[in-house]
Homo-oligomer: A and B are copies of this chain.
Amino acid sequence: MIRVGICGYGNLGRGVELALTQCEDMKLTHIFTRRSPEKLKIKAENCDVISYEKITDFKNEIDVLINCGGSSNDLPQTTPVLSENFNVVDSFDNHKEILTHFKNVDFSARKGGRLSLISAGWDPGLFSLSRLYMNAVLPVGRDYTFWGRGVSQGHSNALRKIDGVADAVEYTNPVFSALGMVQHGEMPDLTDKEKHTRECFVALKDGADKEKIEKEIKSHKYFKDYDTTVNFVSKEEILANHTAMPHGGWVIRNGNTADGSNHTMEFRLSLESNPQFTGSVLVACARGVHRLFKENKRGCITLFDVPPAMLMPTDSEEIIHKFL
């Protein structure tokens, strides 16, 4: 049994906790939290809840630690530190900073003789893998990514920071006419605005000025380059209808082989719960990290470095039989 620890018990941590219940070869042994451990209500049985401050004491009791913090402030600090003492998997998703994060984690993982995998999930993660395979097979072509319909946490947070807003949720939607062109291999030029629309559900504080806030949203740097719809609703409606976290999207490559033939490759996800699905990806990656560590791989890696078979619990003959 692979002994797994979870660091951080928010939506993603809970997704990892549940994903582990579907894996017979792994068990959740510890959850680390910055909150008071005795106050944390967890679902797992036979799992200790420990204060984050004491985490290093457990370095020999955990095979892989899944770091479930946020990408803006938490993971850039904690994954490099934890990587010296643990094999760590994280979901760092700030695309522009990934290379820096990679180097920081690689340095400390090598120092401690450990193996970490960063930026797992679906984008970055499975979408990145799709882009890589598609480009390896069709070197001449164009890539497109469409997201949605899904809740963007970053955009929702931006709405909540606006003066007069009590609560808000933003959905990113694909423009289906553009998506259709790409799916049919037309290789169009598309601006951001032509690919996505932004749909906001906003609950106001008492006395807030609707018109002013709608203007402020539509001129905000996150929204001004898109067709943005603002729907004013009650706080109760947001709680009732907009707390699920669906997401998904499409990675598509239109390419040509040298005879001139056109080919379209497409990978699509439609997810009822983003954190539950992302948690499932992190768990599969934890298995891969454990197996590569046993084969003496050290440092920092990404999904690009994991032989796909290592993500499965079964042996190679069964994998050939079932999937090839």
Shortest Cβ gap from A18 to chain B (Å): 4
- For window 119-161 of A, CB contacts with B under 8 Å fall at 119, 124, 126, 128-133, 135-140
Query: Is A265's beta carbon under 8 Å from chain B?
Result: yes
- Asked if A312 lies at the interface with its beta carbon under 8 angstroms from chain B, I say yes
Q: Is A212 an interface residue (CB 8 A)?
A: no
Given contact pairs A19-B258, A263-B271, A276-B261, A136 touches B95 in the complex (Cβ within 8 A): no
Please classify the interface of chain A as helix (H, G, I), strand (E, B), loop, or mixed, using the class held by over half of its residues. helix
Chain B residues contacting A273 (CB-CB under 8 Å) are 257, 259, 261, 263
Q: Are A320 and B302 in contact (CB under 8 A)?
A: yes
Q: Give chain B nearest CB distance to A272 CB in angstroms.
A: 4
B132 near A308 with CB under 8 A, answer: yes
If A132-B311, A137-B284 are given as contacts, then 12 extra A-B residue pairs at C-beta distance below 8 Å, sorted by A number, are: A15-B257, A22-B258, A95-B324, A126-B265, A132-B309, A132-B323, A136-B284, A137-B311, A257-B273, A266-B267, A305-B308, A306-B307
Contact with B along A254-290 (1 / 0, CB 8 A): 0001110111111111111100110111001001000
Q: What are the residues of chain B within 8 A of A280 when measuring CB–CB?
A: 137-138, 257
Measured between alpha carbons, how far is A95 from B324 in the docked complex, in Å? Answer: 7
Residue A32 interfacial (CB < 8 Å)? no
By CB atoms of chain B within 10 A, which of A140, A258, A319, A323 has the most?
A: A323
| The 7 nearest A-B residue pairs measured at CB | A136-B311, A261-B272, A261-B273, A18-B258, A304-B309, A257-B276, A266-B268
Interfacial chain B residues near A305, Cβ < 8 Å: 307-309, 316
**Nearest CB in chain B to that of A17: its residue:** B258
* A positions within 8 Å CB-CB of B: 15, 18-19, 21-23, 95, 98-99, 102, 119, 124, 126, 128-133, 135-140, 185, 257-259, 261-273, 276-277, 279-281, 284, 287, 302-309, 311-312, 316-317, 319-324
CA distance A140 to B18 in the complex (A): 12
Instruction: Tell me if B268 and A268 are in contact (CB < 8 A).
Output: yes
| Closest chain B residue, CB of each to CB of A20 | B258
Asked whether, in the complex, the Cβ of A265 is within 8 Å of the Cβ of B264, the reply is no
A262-B272, A271-B263, A277-B263 known; A129-B257 Cβ under 8 A = no
Residue from B15, B268, B287, B304 within 8 A of A308 (CB atoms) = B304
User: Does B259 lie within 8 Å of A18, measured CB to CB?
Assistant: yes
**Complex copy number for this chain:** 2
Q: Which chain B positions have C-beta within 8 A of A270?
A: 185, 263-264, 266
With CB as the reference atom, state the residue of chain B lying closest to A139: B22
- The answer on a CB contact under 8 Å between B284 and A21 is no
Residue in B closest to A266 when the chains form the complex, CB atoms: B268
* Residue ID in chain B nearest A22 by CB atoms: B139
CB atoms of B269 and A124 under 8 A apart: no
Shortest Cβ gap from A321 to chain B (Å): 6
**How far is A249 from B23 in the complex, measured between Cα atoms in Å?**
30
Residue numbers in B under 8 Å from A304 (CB-CB): 307-309, 316, 319-320, 323-324
